[in-house]
Structure 1
């Protein structure tokens, strides 16, 4: 059975069971601070489990893209080494929100697996929660056990502990016992030797879990205690790739048609055969897996970067490049070439892959090329470390610096060192890595109390589109303590005019005032699992009384100007550059806006001018805001509204229109484009391959911009003696400066020649070495030229020159290459040790190195110490 048919049969089965079939949510989460990526099928539905929203249908089914590479669920290091772990995987799931429970979930799971898919009942095992004798004091899940007895022999129903059979969303939140379904696909001979029940949950590659049925019936509180949920829910997740392995009769996920097209293409590109040599097989599996994770992430709007989710994606891609570089001998970019195969294979189920194919290829190719350059640079640095190493062990601190500062993989370092018959101080490296993790963990450490509920039945409503003030009632609150922000309070109201951060727009600020005149400042507003949360440093004194909530109108107005400008900018870019332009991210603040978009080249001055003129023409046109709220998404799209890849839209949406600009948007906007006053682009540049970024300003920021530029212009004219043509006057100064520089360079060269002639006569013979340590009046370039010229004329040369420049000290050491070999002298080590006398440091190659410092008074002492190296 083909993988596409397997997915279709699953969804059709649950559609017949009255489930709504929904598309996969984007993998990158934007309103859940506890997760970077969707790491399980239930993550997009957390708001329903938490009771913060009601689903349109109490029964839902889908195939959800998941990524497990960070946090608690981290499978990255296992990927490639076994046959069933992945970074990106599909999770087939069915959910019940307060509808059916254990009986139906178990019956339908058994029916689908054994009757629809035709899996032999004799290769299946199930597990149930055995209970716990810890503080929770939970009893065995006899209800699930009794339901399973109707379908499977009791000796195939295994009891599992809390680790394996009690599922929790996190340290707090909904949780409950679960039943896992495992499959044993070993040969008959293997089964005769060892029973499958003894291999369940033992990480055996052919006895694996394929489906987990979670029975959510408890809520874990901040103090660790459990309470019953008001409604019981079902959350199931079946590994699509593992299911394909079972149904296609193969022994590895990588032997299914989910991966074989990618593996064949890797074989063609690298000329390496899969299935012959284990280390090559691992590398091919790593690349086949990782290209999927990276491609889907980019399609969902997450580009590789140096922070957050972007750093995780970059790390995954670099791991793939590293395996290709080390084990497949690929020294040039090639992984991007797999995107075509991937989009053909999965583009029907996930159309975003086809729509974003060119962008995905461009980004991956540039990232590959960049990391390959890093590897080349790292090899040079590693060779230098090897040269400076005394003994047979390279310092863990040095290896960590290479890893942390330059991104050079530690396992590649260890491999190269072993080839050079050197060892790596792994203990020292791990100690440095742990220090970094501890610093990072300490910086993000946060504790969260349980919510204190004041009004349990209160429904939250955002009214900030229509008003900036309202009388509100506090419905719940909780205290949070973070290392970064200290003690804070999160407040939730029955209604709120405060816009929560979202869609690129920052959250509102403002204040609360009670009837006693006490004021509490709202420092930020965010949305978490469909709840609007207001951040304050203090808890209001009179929490059960009503408050007047007031949004900072000046900040909101400036933010609205910038948000509306992003819509007009998007329209302008598509008009000026072409309809291939799509928004790839935005940031809308009160002071500026940032807009990322797909485009293949730098914008010319004329194109930037045309874009600015287009936006300002719409501002001058005084276009009114035309808004449609809570309309079906299909209706908005049919009306011409643009939707963005990577955004999660509900069944109903809000459409914003200014003239011909129509977009789906939940943010706030000006009532008329005339309110923006003026639009000005302040920068344009590249973010990644095929992604450009424009930063721009509007309204008051534009007025300040022109004022500052006008002031700078008149200051410049004053410096140019009020020249009538200041630009021409500056050009004349530049030409004059260039000519003077040339004259200075000539004089310095003459000076260096004279000094060189004098230095020849000062060389001393010390144990057969031509030695000189002297302070000279030249810059760094002049000193280097003199040293190398002397080196071309004399053998066995050891030079140490000191110089003082602009109050700073400089040491330069030159050692003839024959001395580097015969006497094991090293200029880099010399300047590093002598650099302490000038309160500085440096380095370089064994034959030439420099050091800089802030203590010129130490130059003479450093020069005096140089002779000791020759004794």
Structure 2
């Protein structure tokens, strides 16, 4: 059965059981500070489990794109090496929100696997929760008895809390789970060792395929034991090797469990593993999820791949290393492509850095083992998009854009990859205890763009290790903010009233009566911060690029300033300068009206800008990011070349024309998503839209977008639109920064003022441009004359220094203090003397236009003896001028701060040379 049929059968089966089939959420998460990526099927339903939202359907099923490469769920090191770990994978799942429970979940899972998919029953094992004394949790007898209806007791395994009790986090919904495992070994192997002995023991052929979670408890802090302070202290201070076990024991001691009001079912089945089990092959990579990609890689590299189509007929390919390389590339291209399609570009920070790491890991495997010396990954896009065009349409729709982004990233990394690998080779001979130091690993990261995990991977292949702790120390030095991040502590929410989802009324009201629902304290950089959640709020929470509102709340007795408003899943969180004295009071909330108006000006102008860009540059332009506040608007969009001045002017003119037309806003709320699409509304890839959306229109023939932000009632309120910069953000992504209203007026006024001042300085010429050009021409002519004069001086100085050369110990020594106008003159003198003396040892302590510099040059003949190393010498001498430097073995320079130390440089040089 092919993978497409397997996926369809799963969704059709649960549709027949009354489930609503929903689309996958994007890989890249919005409004969830706890995760970088969607790492499991339940993530998009988290608010249903937390009680922050209610599902419109009590039964749901889907296939969810997931990414696991960092944090708790980090599978990166196993990817390509073993047969069943992946970075991006699909999670098939069915969900019940207070509807059915264990009986139906178990019955349907068994029916689907054994009747619909016809998996051999004698290859299946199940596990149930065996209980836990620390949490006073009983053995899951109910699940055990239900499974006995389908399998014999010797195929039911009682699992530990680690394997069979699922928890979302330290706190929150949790419950026992039942896993279904499949034994894919040969008949002889299964006869020799029973499969139950290999369940949950990391056997590559005895693997979990489905986990049925029965969410029936909520974990909360024990009020008798305090809040989260002890756990935070433990996380920061505990250094023991058994930290994981000790932490779990502490958590059990600090928390309690209580039954949830509604029992839920949350299941997750690894699609790639399921395809492998149904087709009885020994590796996920031998299913048609991956074989088209691997076949393409094999053909392009002209290297065979192992063929393990059936367990009974394994046949080796060219080598284990080339097989691993093909698996890594086939896996990684999926993760990188879908992340980019969902809006996450490779970058140097956060989620973007994770994607860059994955991409560079794939590039390195192709370069080292498959001889791909030019960009190659991008060429896999047509194969991948064609495979999944009926399931995840976002990749097919953007394949050209994604391909270009990957090409640019590959191209950039390949330029430094070869140099980085050669640097590693040069370091191998210097390693102490076969360990690459933290400083050396950081050099590879900082200079050659090697992520630490890539350096560690190469090190393992070459038989040495990396001081990862030392690397982290070097990173901490570079990123001083890491201390502030480490010091950030977030307390627990404290309920005041009924826990409820806040109602946003800020589209229609900028003032309202509100009540505090819950609050918490935070600490960052030793400063205490406070967060409030209200039952209703006029404050817009940061979302869709628009920054959050500010303002204040007040009662009869106190006034509290709101400094920011953000979204946290479905919560609207208000940052306050202090906590209310009376939490139960009713407050009057007031949004900063002026700031909101300016933000609306910029947000509406962003919509007009987007439409104008598509009109001028083409329909390939898609939003890739935005920032909107009361000062500026920033818009990132897909485009592969810098805009010309004429294109910028055209876009600016179109937007200002729409502003002058004073187009009235057409705002439609709660529009069914399909109806919104028929209106021509632009849906952004990477955004998760509900069944009902908000449509913002400024002229149905010009700008129609899905948007949750705040907008002007008519475009005339924007006043004036001015683009202030256009630049590159990443491969295939450009950025425009623009201003409107007051900021645009200020910009024009200041520009005119500057122009008037320039005219005044130049005596108000009739032709300002011609006058300025003449001045520049005069400047260039004078600079050339100065260059000639300085070169004549340098030649004279060089000749004087040559006369001072002293022959000793088989070389000519020149050790002098000099004054020169520029560093280039100093360098030219050094090379000129090297051409005169092949046995030269030159040390110049130079006053370069009032700044101290040191230059060390070694002649070609003397350099071959390795008696002196210019780089090492200059580092020592630089200490005398409070500086540093380096260079090549035969030529090195250093700069410093202490001009009076030049005499000490010559004295120290003489002592070092005469040793």
Aligned to 2:238: none
CA offsets 1:9-46 (integer angstroms, 9 cap, x no match): 00000000000000111111111110111000000001
**Contact 1:679 1:699 (8 Å CA) reproduced:** yes
Distance 1:490 1:377, change over 3 A: same
Name the stretch that deviates more: 693-702 or 483-492.
Answer: 483-492
1:366 aligns with 2:397: no
TM-score normalised by structure 1 residue count? 0.96
- CA shift at 1:162, angstroms? 1.1
Which of 463, 481, 489 matches 2:505? 463
Task: Give the aligned partner of residue 173 of structure 1.
Answer: 172
Aligned ranges 1:193-272 → 2 under 5 Å:
193-222=192-221, 223=227, 224-272=255-303
Using the TM superposition, give the Cα deviation of residue 792 of structure 1 relative to its aligned residue in structure 2, in angstroms: 1.5
Question: What is the match of residue 99 of structure 1?
Answer: 99
CA gap of 1:430–1:693, structure 2 versus 1, over 3 A, is closer
Distance 1:148 1:438 in 2: 55
Cα offset, 1:401, TM superposition: 2.6
Counterpart mapping for 1:796-811 below 5 A: 796-811=839-854
CA drift of 1:140 comes to: 1.3
**Cα distance in 1 between the residues matched to 2:141 and 2:894:** 74
Rounded Cα–Cα distance in structure 2 between residues aligned with 1:756 and 1:153: 95
State the partner residue of 2:905. Answer: 862
Q: 2:552 aligns with which of 511, 528, 544?
A: 511
Shift of 1:620: 0.3
Q: Aligned equivalents of 1:164 and 1:869: distance in 2?
A: 67
Out of 654, 657, 660, the position equivalent to 1:614 is 654
Q: Which moved further from structure 2: 668-677 or 721-730?
A: 721-730
| Pair 228,488 (structure 1): closer, same or farther in 2 beyond 3 Å | farther
Give me the whole-angstrom Cα distance separating, in 1, the residues matched to 2:289 and 2:879. Answer: 60
Q: CA RMSD in A?
A: 2.2
In the alignment, structure 1 residue 641 sits paired with structure 2 residue 646: no
The equivalences for 1:9-158 within 5 A come to 9-134=9-134, 136-158=135-157
Partners in 1 of 2:858 and 2:637 — Cα distance?
Answer: 53
Deviations 1:159-180 (A, max 9, x none): 1111111111112221111111
Compared with structure 1, are the counterparts of its residues 775 and 379 closer, same or farther at alpha carbon in structure 2 (3 Å cutoff)? farther
1:787 aligned partner: 830
Q: Write the distance in 1 (CA, Å) between the matches of 2:429 and 2:897.
A: 28
Q: In structure 1, what is the equivalent of residue 183 of structure 2?
A: 184
Helix, strand or coil: the match of 2:819? coil
Kindly state the Cα deviation for residue 389 of structure 1 after the two structures are TM-superposed. Answer: 8.2
1:707-856 equivalent positions in 2, closer than 5 A: 707-778=749-820, 779-856=822-899
Q: Quick check: 1:544 aligned with 2:584?
A: yes
Classify 1:438/1:364 alpha carbon distance in 2 versus 1 (closer, same or farther; 3 Å): same
Residue 389 of structure 2 is aligned to residue 354 of structure 1: no
Deviation of 1:189 (Å): 1.2
Of 641-650 and 273-282, the range deviating more from structure 2: 273-282
Shift of 1:57: 0.6
Distance in 1 of aligned mates of 2:137 and 2:494: 26
**1:513-542 residue CA offsets vs partner (Å, 9 max, x unmatched):** 0122x1111111112221211111321111
Who is 1:565 aligned against? 605
Cα deviation 1:377-416 (Å, max 9, x = unaligned): 4356557767998998764422323224542355776798
Structure 1: how far apart are the matches of 2:159 and 2:458? 44
Partner SS, residue 225 of structure 1: strand
- TM-score normalised by the chain length of structure 2: 0.91
Which segments of 5 or more consecutive residues in structure 2 lack a partner in the other structure?
A: 222-226, 228-254, 307-316
**CA distance change for structure 1 residues 445 and 262 in 2, over 3 Å: closer, same or farther?**
farther
**Structure 1 residues 211 and 677: alpha-carbon distance in aligned structure 2, compared to 1, 3 A threshold:** same
3-state DSSP of counterpart to 1:822: coil
Q: Which runs of 5+ in 1 are unaligned?
A: none
Take 1:75 and 1:413, find their aligned partners in 2: how far apart are those partners?
A: 17
Q: What do the CA deviations read for 1:425-473 (whole angstroms, capped 9, x no partner)?
A: 6477456479679984861554443332222265521110001000111
Q: Specify the alignment match of 2:631 in structure 1.
A: 591
Do the aligned residues in 2 keep the contact of 1:400 with 1:432 (CA within 8 Å)? no
> Which is further off, 599-608 or 313-322?
599-608
Any conservation in 2 of the 1:767–1:870 contact (CA below 8 Å)?
no
Name the CA distance, whole Å, in 1 between partners of 2:82 and 2:480.
30
For residues 98 and 781 of structure 1, the distance between their equivalents in structure 2, rounded to whole angstroms, comes to 76
Q: Tell me the secondary structure at the aligned position of residue 854 of structure 2.
A: strand
Counterparts of 1:330-729 in structure 2 under 5 Å? 330-379=372-421, 395-409=437-451, 426=467, 429=470, 432=473, 440=482, 443-456=485-498, 458=500, 460-481=502-523, 483-484=524-525, 486-516=527-557, 518-660=558-700, 661-729=703-771
Count, aligned residues: 867
* Distance in 1 (alpha carbons) for counterparts of 2:220 and 2:492: 6
Are the structure 2 counterparts of residues 449 and 750 from structure 1 closer, same or farther at C-alpha, using a change threshold of 3 Å?
A: closer
Match of 2:304 among 256, 264, 273: 273
The farther-off stretch of 255-264 and 594-603 is 594-603
Whole-angstrom distance in 2 between the partners of 1:412 and 1:763: 50
CA distance in structure 2 between the aligned counterparts of 1:92 and 1:446, rounded to whole angstroms: 36
Q: What are the superposed Cα offsets for residues 38-69 of structure 1, whole Å, 9 maximum, x if unpaired?
A: 00000000111111111111000000000001
